[in-house]
Amino acid sequence: MSTFILIHGAWHGAWVWDRVAEQLRSAGHTVHTPDLPGHGQDKTPVQQVTLHAYVERVCNVIDQCDGPVILAGHSMGGLVISQAAEKRPGQILSLAYICAFLLRNGQSLVEEASKDTAAVVMPNVVFSADHLAATLRPEVLREAFYADCSEEDYRRACSLLVRQATAPFATPLQLSDENFGHVPRLYVECVQDRAITLPAQRAMHQATPCDRVLTLDCSHSPFFAKPRELVECLLAATSLQAPKRGRAAISPART
């Protein structure tokens, strides 16, 4: 059995993983779903939320695990798992990017996101007066994050979103071939995504090749829309062997 650490994205919290974690645990796996600082149940003031704080939170979880882990990140969580892999390469079996930012050394999230002109997130960000935090215009939340999710999931998610600290968006990653570069990588691309569009996802995992690429026909929240299929993708990360490259499609699970 494997140990999974699942990292949520911007504005969200550990609550996004409830169904996925339940299915993985039912199959006998160990699953950790930490709230990043300032998210979910964590009340870290937005002024203290940095990429370093995110990474330290994840590294603390890694250090408490017995043996190597599968570290998965959704959306903004992608940059967190990359930087954590730079710090703990020997303790990570593989990385799984779920429609996530897969950045190169020296890149920041805002730099990469600004290239994705078809996405609906960046044009609809509303900054606080001091520019330390950001929210999204409510009218675009469904299109951006939950286009194919149930009304119940959509309403619950909207009620749990928090203000997002902007500092992690602007911080460049510091990655090396010796550390981050030696950890096997899997990318799960989401075809209907409007937060990080499919061309943007593919540009990233082509610039930083992954050992396997899987495709889900859904929008930005597969943990709500296709949890069973997402679990299949995560399980594929347990047997990654670098440096194989390729793309495979995960077929819809039968009900």
For residue 40, tell me if it sits in a domain: yes
pTM here is 0.95
Q: Can you give the residue range of the structural domain that contains 115?
A: 3-249
How far, in Å, CA of 106 to CA of 230, rounded? 30
For residue 114, tell me if it sits in a domain: yes
User: Using alpha carbons only, what angle is made at residue 163 by residues 159 and 166, rounded to the nearest 5 degrees?
Assistant: 150
Which position has the token pair 């504005």?
A: 11
| 179, 147 Cβ separation under 8 angstroms | no
- Domain holding 37: CATH number? 3.40.50.1820
Q: What is the pLDDT of residues 72-128, one digit of tens each?
A: 999 999 999 999 999 999 999 999 999 999 999 999 999 999 999 999 999 999 999
Q: How confident is the prediction for the chain on average, in pLDDT?
A: 94
For residue 92, tell me if it sits in a domain: yes
For residue 242, tell me if it sits in a domain: yes
For residue 170, tell me if it sits in a domain: yes
Number of domains in the chain: 1
Does pLDDT of 255 surpass 70?
Answer: no
Residues in the chain, how many?
255
Per residue, the 3-state secondary structure of 171-209, as one string, reads CCCCCCCCCHHHCCEEEEEECCCCCCCHHHHHHHHHHCC
Query: What pLDDT does 251 receive?
Result: 42
Does pLDDT of 250 surpass 80?
Answer: no
For residue 103, tell me if it sits in a domain: yes
Split at pLDDT 50, 70, 90, the class of 242 is low
For residue 254, tell me if it sits in a domain: no
Helix axes of 18-26 and 227-236: crossing angle, nearest 10 degrees: 60
Which position has the token pair 């911080």?
A: 171
For residue 255, tell me if it sits in a domain: no
Split at pLDDT 50, 70, 90, the class of 253 is very low
Q: What is the pLDDT of residues 192-208, one digit of tens each?
A: 999 999 999 999 999 99
